[in-house]
Amino acid sequence: MKDDRPYWNMEMEPKFNTPEMREIQETKLRGKLKALRERAPYYTKLFKQCGVNEKTSFEELRRAIPVFTKADWREIVKAHNGDILEAMDQIIPVNAYEDLYLVASTTGTTGEPEPYPFTQKDLWDVYGEALARYNWRAGLRSNDRMLHCFALSMVIAGIPTLIGAFKLGCMVIPVGAEGGTERILKTAGYYKPTALMGTPSLALYLIEKAPEALGADVGKMGIKTILCGGEPGAGLPEVRRRIESAFGCKLFDVGGALGISCDHQEYQGLHQVGDDLMILDLVDPDTKEPLPFENGRKGEMVLTTIDGDAFGGAFRRSPGDIIQIFTDPCPCGRSGFRYKFVGRVDDMLKVKGVMVYPDMIRKVIESFVPQVTGQFRIVLDEPPPRVVPPLKLKVEHGADIPENKLKGLASEMAEAMSKDIKIRPEIIWVSPNELERSTYKGKVFEKTYENK
């Protein structure tokens, strides 16, 4: 197939948002419902209770089946005396002891890991396929060399991302976030990657570290494409500008719910590139009731995998993200509705009744670079979400800001936040490089109440 075709998968990707795709989704959903009913004990029972069978349409399903939450998972684990493997076996339509190729997990701050099981088919035909689509849309081809700097344990950004690269046929150079920035930069020196994958925190950290570790700016690395994911950031205009101009690259934002941004000048959100693999749905974050799937609508993202087998763990499952969806055609002309990340359900703060997500704060702080470094922490003296105002923010000022200017800068920043997000925080200045950097996911909160 030609290297200049617009999509990796010319059979499926042009069909997104068409009646034909909806038919494909319904057919695949019926297969998924049958497999779960027959082979996943948890769903055998739940489907019976909720009156769901193989004839149930997606529209009926989203009203009949409640969102699968962390609390549901905890219940299942408890009912199986803390045996995670046995609990997992209840919710997937394959044998958890024999059929799996990979299990990745997210770990909350408390409780047991939330597993994401994969069979060979899940890895190759579902996630590998979606990630090959990402890579293709980002312009990567089989002659590219990709430096993999995500932590290997990350659910999608770890191993499934590697499978996507193998499927495309590019050369993978794994270092992982675990390698640390110096090793990442040195490895880049040996193999001259044309592309890099990692968190935005890592990309920003490499910009700071390169002059010391390499004796040169990151712009000398020759990286043409960066795919950033694992945490928000690559969608913020200032972060994008800093990464793109420092590396001299094109930056793409990627998400685990099968989305990648396009190369339109202005950020348009992530195009969902897996309509035939997974149905992305929206619910109200408070009531968990289904919301209309329409342009501009904000809500909690709920995922239902309709292809593959063991990833049945993602059946009306919420990864805990609040997103905004855009069903209007994108000016870039590529297929797939789009979504923008708004915040994590768990990271939501309520300041005098105003809902605030860390990303909203990050956006304002980033607009003050280089007067600030862009690094900050939200200081929480009490467990969230309720915050007694003023919200306290530790912010690193820029290296060249004289001390007598800091007070004025703090009021300017508080004013900008008051205008943009309706809160007036207290800014606590800290020196450049005082806050710990991360090669993994950047830390946002400083929870003083945990030390009390």
- Closer residue to Zn ion in complex, CB, 168/262: 262
Regarding 330 and contact with Zn ion (CB under 5 A), the answer is yes
- Least Cβ distance, residue 189 to Zn ion (angstroms): 34
The piece of 30-38, 221-229, 259-267, 420-428 that touches Zn ion (CB under 5 A) is 259-267
- Closer residue to Zn ion in complex, CB, 109/265: 265
Regarding 225 and contact with Zn ion (CB under 5 A), the answer is no
- Closer residue to Zn ion in complex, CB, 152/330: 330
- Least Cβ distance, residue 266 to Zn ion (angstroms): 10
Here's the x/- map for Zn ion, 130-159, by CB under 5 A: it reads as ------------------------------
The piece of 133-141, 149-157, 266-274, 354-362 that touches Zn ion (CB under 5 A) is 266-274
The piece of 35-43, 265-273, 385-393, 428-436 that touches Zn ion (CB under 5 A) is 265-273
The piece of 68-76, 160-168, 257-265, 436-444 that touches Zn ion (CB under 5 A) is 257-265
- Least Cβ distance, residue 201 to Zn ion (angstroms): 25
- Residues with Cβ < 8 Å from 404, sequence gap 6 or more? none
Rounded CA-CA distance 165/146 in Å is 8
The piece of 68-76, 251-259, 263-271, 407-415 that touches Zn ion (CB under 5 A) is 263-271
Regarding 181 and contact with Zn ion (CB under 5 A), the answer is no
- Least Cβ distance, residue 374 to Zn ion (angstroms): 26
Regarding 262 and contact with Zn ion (CB under 5 A), the answer is yes
Regarding 373 and contact with Zn ion (CB under 5 A), the answer is no
Regarding 268 and contact with Zn ion (CB under 5 A), the answer is yes
- Least Cβ distance, residue 273 to Zn ion (angstroms): 11
Q: Which of 50, 332, 348, 416 binds Zn ion (CB under 5 A)?
A: 332
Binding positions for Zn ion, rule: CB under 5 A:
262, 264, 268, 330, 332, 334
